[in-house]
Amino acid sequence: MTDTKGKVVGVNGNMVSVEFDGNISMNEVAYVKVDNSSLKSEVIRIRGNVAQLQVYEMTKGIKTGDAVEFTGDLLSAELGPGLLGQVYDGLQNPLPLLAEKAGWFLERGVYVDPLDRTKKWAFTPTAKPGDVKKAGEYIGTVPEGPFTHKIFVPFYLLGSYTVKSIKPAGEYTLDDKVAVLTDENGKDVEIGLSFKWPVKRAINCYEERLAPTETMVTKVRLIDTFFPVAKGGTYCIPGPFGAGKTVLQHTTSKYADVDIVIIAACGERAGEVVETLTEFPELKDPKTGKSLMERTIIICNTSSMPVASREASVYTSVTLAEYYRQMGLNVLLLADSTSRWAQALREMSGRLEEIPGEEAFPAYMESYIAAFYERAGQVRLPDGSVGSVTIGGTVSPAGGNFEEPVTQATLKVVGAFHGLSRARSDARKYPAIDPIQSWSKYKGVIDSSKVNFCFDIMKKGVDVASMMKVVGEEGTSLEDYLVYLKEEMLDAVYFQQNSFDAVDANATVERQKYDLDKIIKILGSSFELADKDEARTYFNQLRQKFLDWNYTEEHSDAFKKVESEIDELYSSKNGKLTAQAESLLKA
């Protein structure tokens, strides 16, 4: 705590106006005293000697004259071993411990250390006396689950430091000092296993920011092949309620080619959070066979916190992601949903009486959203390793209207857009990503010429389907009807997946390439079909064979058997490749 004190002069919802005497700074943490409790708050505006605080607890009972204490510290997250497997609220309180201490109906003003202070970690020094280090370089390691957790020179230390002394290998708690560093002026600094970092300040202790070029494989065919995401890239999943955003995030968390997954449940505080908390510990990591929680961190709000806590959740989660990126790991941050964060910004902006922008959102909302997604990226670190943070945010536009401000602000800054369709969701198509509206700026796992060929078939098929709604099947030529049937088959057997089937949900890159070549052979062939009835029957048979194929293990006997049946069915109608398809398959 500092000597700066204040007193409450106004209360407007979870915004408290405080008259203070002394020096304070933006984003500084303060505590409002009420009913023998200290309520954690953050300075969000300073006007003369009056500051507006955003209180992260219910403000019932706060009245003018109540005391306020300023800490001098910015809103920060503690970084160190022990973060993995935790479930935190937006202020980095471990929710299971909070429930133990305060009961399931959480009392306000109760805070718990983010990391276990009693647990001992097996520290191994990697630096020796005389070594020169700077912020972001590490001096030792401890094992944390399946990873080697690096112990860094704290990111806030400026300049170069010489290692004066370092503890030998052994077991130490977070509060033990494992090294003493000396700065350029001869001042000693003690280093422990953990330190704090302001959540609203990006961690930039890297050598170079790299262009995201490597595909982050999700095992979702529609994403990896047609709308890919790069490691260190950004993407958004807007869609109406019930369109499958949460299921898609769970599948991505389980199968994505990343080291660590961070879930920021910054929006829904009821059903979807309960679903996340109950299902994630039960999910098995396909890489290790153990619980997925061993390499996952969940951050969510509680129903006893105001909507302002959504902002804290967003920033805390991205700070933890950047911390693990500094270790050379690939991190996937999934934020669900950023619309709720934007609504929290709108609510606070209204209380601050700022001039509103479109739909009453604050005029600076776009820059806030852009600043959040800009914290993603692939970087080269001081030791030469490369780490990445990939950010995927869901957006929940009312009525599925992608023209609303939050969706539009997000689309301006992300590298891929996976728009969920109500029509596809209602038709039980998973994932419900609309292949017409969606796009990606990143390179996928499949040759672009093959992707463009499939896109061309898809668009022509959609056009024919639209025409058939007007003229009917009778008014459609057999040639056009075949294009429609090919597009329907592509949609059913490649765009769609069964997330509950272990084989179909886990489409490897090799499997995607092999499957798509087989489908292109069908899409790029002519067949001897007498009429539409025969064509419909034939493509229904093909579609069923491909669906059966999707559920078989790659290279298994069942896989080869179904493939031979597909080949026989192809030959039965004298399938003949076009020149374009033949050149594609030879490439």
Both tokens assigned to 216: 């982050």
Identify residue 396 by its one-letter amino acid code.
Answer: S
Asked if the peptide bond before residue 397 counts as cis, ω within 30 degrees of 0, the response is no
Which residues are known binding-site members for ATP? 239-246
Distant-in-sequence, close-in-space partners of 266: CB < 8 Å, separation ≥ 6: 90, 299, 300, 301, 310, 311, 313, 314, 317, 335, 336, 337, 338, 340, 341
Contact assessment for residue 150 and residue 326, using Cβ atoms and an 8 Å cutoff: yes
Distant-in-sequence, close-in-space partners of 154: CB < 8 Å, separation ≥ 6: 135, 191, 195, 197
- What is the number of H-type helices and E-type strands within the chain? 15, 28
Contact assessment for residue 148 and residue 141, using Cβ atoms and an 8 Å cutoff: yes
Q: 3-state DSSP call for residue 530?
A: coil
Question: To the nearest 5 percent, what fractions of the chain are helix, strand and coil?
Answer: 35, 25, 40
Distant-in-sequence, close-in-space partners of 145: CB < 8 Å, separation ≥ 6: 84, 85, 294, 295
Which residues are known binding-site members? 239-246
Q: Measure the CA–CA gap between 179 and 344, rounded to whole angstroms.
A: 42
Distant-in-sequence, close-in-space partners of 256: CB < 8 Å, separation ≥ 6: 216, 217, 218, 219, 332
Both tokens assigned to 270: 């009821």
Residue 379 vs residues 33, 199, 321, 419, 500: alpha-carbon distances, Å: 43, 19, 13, 28, 35
DSSP alpha helix (H) spans, 385-447? 405-411, 422-426
Q: Measure the CA–CA gap between 81 and 263, rounded to whole angstroms.
A: 18
Q: Measure the CA–CA gap between 513 and 557, rounded to whole angstroms.
A: 20
Both tokens assigned to 384: 């030469």
* Residue that the structure tokens 């929006």 belong to: 267
Surface-to-core class of residue 372, CB atoms within 10 Å of its CB (0-12 exposed, 13-18 middle, 19+ buried): buried
Distant-in-sequence, close-in-space partners of 352: CB < 8 Å, separation ≥ 6: 15, 44, 45, 52
